[in-house]
Amino acid sequence: MAAELKGDNEPYDDINITPMVDLTFVLLIIFIIMTTAAVQGIQVNLPQASSAPPLETPKTKAVTISADGTIYLDTYPVTIQELESRLGSLHAADPGLPVIIKGDSTVQYQLVVDVLDMCGRIGITQIGLVTQKLVK
């Protein structure tokens, strides 16, 4: 007798899908966590400074300068001319647009100054430099 019988000699034809649903939800949660962890921006080695409140907010634009001198606007690589064009149009739409600059500690200082000068030419007045908290 292959099929189990219920009380009235009827075959038991229900499949318990609860374990499959549990597994599906666990896999979905793992996928969401891993995807979120993988999309956090460009990794740079930040210089250290004293503790200060963070400046980055959701509407803040981040300019990142990697160790090899590549400039990123949020997570997209751009040239200095493209950066000026894009920040100029964003600043025209929102004159109070805050910009933070994340420069790798090994990058040439002149490149950071060039980005700061470009922000000044556009008229961006809310500029922040990102550093690591000083560990004592």
Q: Where are the beta strands (DSSP E) in 92-131?
A: 99-103, 127-129
122 domain-assigned: yes
16 domain-assigned: no
Tell me if 87 sits within 8 A of 127, measured CB to CB: no
84 domain-assigned: yes
Tell me the pairing of strands 132-133 and 127-129.
Answer: unpaired
Tell me if 77 sits within 8 A of 71, measured CB to CB: yes
The 8-class DSSP code of residue 11 comes to B
2 domain-assigned: no
Find the domain containing 80 and state its range. Answer: 48-133
Over residues 98-132, the pLDDT tens digits come to 999 988 888 888 898 999 999 999 998 889 888 87
More confident residue, 43 or 27: 27
24 domain-assigned: no
- How many domains are contained in the chain? 1
Q: Domain containing 123 — which CATH number?
A: 3.30.420.270
37 domain-assigned: no
**3-state SS class at 60:** coil
* Report field, pTM of the whole predicted structure over 0.75: no
**3-state SS class at 99:** strand
41 domain-assigned: no
6 domain-assigned: no
Q: CA–CA separation, 92 vs 67, rounded Å?
A: 30
Over residues 50-66, the pLDDT tens digits come to 666 655 545 788 898 98
